[in-house]
């Protein structure tokens, strides 16, 4: 199920959402080696090269590096990517020469949110970010929304590290940060209708309640538990849980805030008409002589 719009209109341009999307696109196509596609007669084929692997190891978050507080050693790199069979949990305490000596492993927690593995990976994430992010930005303001994205993305990565502390495989993608955005969205607007594409045999276009979309999304991630699919499901679930907690806090704050009221308008001045002069012969005029 692929969401592409929601029935939750906004009244201002979501500048931070657009900026985050633009940054991911620029990094992928202008900075990452993978972002340079080759054109063939049958379509666009992304080029994979040695530079892609080196770029990911040099810049992306790697659980082993975070738990050890240092970059991968040359030995860990060789056991993970060069030797066969590959050992994707080659993390050790032995130390040795660093494969990426200048890497700041804690800064990689942020950098990894802007790296992607393929064009579908990139634009799939950006669609989810647009659908669920623009409303949060409009509702809570740009700086709270940006803080949720960055801290939620870091929390998502740490959730993956917590479950796979010895992994020596780089993590790339904004999915964890976007999962945090989704968590807050579903807490604040669980009943909003989401326009979605359902590609089951024939393609269906349906408006699905946000709560049901959440159930399907969670189920698809839970099915990956224990599988070697290459999807960082722990980061998805961890980011979503973090965002849901933030959403609960925001909803609590909103409930305590008194509703906006406007000062009552003063009543309009009473209209009065000038008194008519007393007619001298009017029978009911107070100054008229009484009839004889």
Domain containing 23 — which CATH number? 1.20.1540.10
Helix 175-188, helix 233-256: angle, nearest 10: 30
- Count: domains in the chain: 1
Q: What's the rounded Cα separation, in Å, for the pair 162 and 177?
A: 17
In a domain? residue 289: no
- Please report whether residue 248 resides in a domain: yes
Q: Is 281 a member of any domain?
A: no
pTM (predicted TM-score): 0.82
Rounded Cα distance, 167 and 164, in Å = 6
State the Cα–Cα distance between residues 190 and 19, nearest whole angstrom.
26
The closest alpha carbon to 181, from 225, 131, 141, belongs to 131
Residue 291 lies in a domain: no
In a domain, 178, yes or no: yes
Residue 208 DSSP SS3: strand
Burial class (CB in 10 A: 0-12, 13-18, 19+), 46: middle
Does position 130 have pLDDT exceeding 70, yes or no?
yes
pLDDT digits (tens, 9 = 90+) for 163-214: 999 999 999 999 999 999 999 999 999 999 999 988 777 777 889 999 999 8
With respect to residue 282, please indicate whether it lies within any of the assigned structural domains. no
Contact call for residues 161 and 63 (beta carbons, < 8 A): yes
φ, ψ dihedrals at 100, nearest 5°? -125, 80
Place of tokens 């090269």: 49
Which structural domain, as residue segments, surrounds residue 121?
Answer: 2-256
**Residue 266 counted as domain residue:** no
pLDDT at position 71 = 97
* The pLDDT of residue 278 is above 70: no
Q: Decide: 34 and 59 in contact? Cβ < 8 Å.
A: no
Chain center to CA of 261: 32
Q: What gap in Å lies between CA 284 and CA 225, rounded to an integer?
A: 98
Flag whether 111 is in a domain: yes
Question: Using one digit for the tens of pLDDT, what is the confidence trace for 51-107?
Answer: 888 999 999 999 999 999 999 999 999 999 999 888 999 999 988 999 999 999 999
* DSSP 8-state class, residue 32: S
- What pLDDT shows up at residue 286? 47
């Amino acid at each position: 199920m692929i969401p592409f719009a929601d029935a939750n209109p906004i009244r201002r341009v979501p500048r931070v959402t657009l900026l985050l999307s633009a940054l991911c696109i620029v990094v992928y196509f202008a900075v990452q080696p993978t972002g340079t596609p080759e054109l063939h007669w049958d379509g666009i084929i992304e080029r994979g090269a040695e530079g892609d692997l080196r770029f990911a190891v040099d810049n992306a978050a790697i659980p082993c590096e975070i738990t050890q507080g240092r970059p991968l050693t040359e030995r860990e790199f060789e056991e993970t990517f060069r030797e066969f069979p590959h050992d994707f949990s080659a993390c050790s305490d032995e130390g040795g020469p660093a494969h990426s000596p200048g890497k700041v492993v804690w800064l990689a927690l942020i950098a990894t949110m802007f790296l992607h593995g393929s064009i579908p990976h990139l634009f799939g994430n950006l669609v989810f970010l647009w659908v669920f992010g623009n409303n949060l930005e409009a509702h809570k303001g740009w700086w709270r929304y940006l803080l949720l994205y960055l801290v939620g993305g870091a929390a998502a990565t740490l959730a993956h590290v917590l479950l796979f502390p010895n992994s020596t495989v780089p993590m790339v993608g904004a999915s964890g940060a976007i999962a945090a955005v989704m968590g807050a969205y579903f807490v604040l607007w669980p009943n909003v209708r989401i326009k979605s594409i359902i590609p089951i045999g024939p393609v269906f276009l349906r408006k699905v309640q946000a709560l049901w979309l959440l159930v399907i999304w969670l189920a698809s991630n839970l099915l990956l538990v224990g599988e070697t699919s290459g999807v960082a499901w722990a980061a998805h679930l961890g980011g979503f849980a973090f965002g849901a907690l933030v959403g609960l806090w925001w909803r609590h704050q909103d409930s305590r805030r008194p509703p906006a009221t406007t000062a009552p308008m003063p009543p309009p001045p009473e209209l009065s008409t000038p008194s008519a002069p007393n007619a001298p012969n009017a029978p009911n005029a107070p100054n008229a002589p009484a009839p004889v």
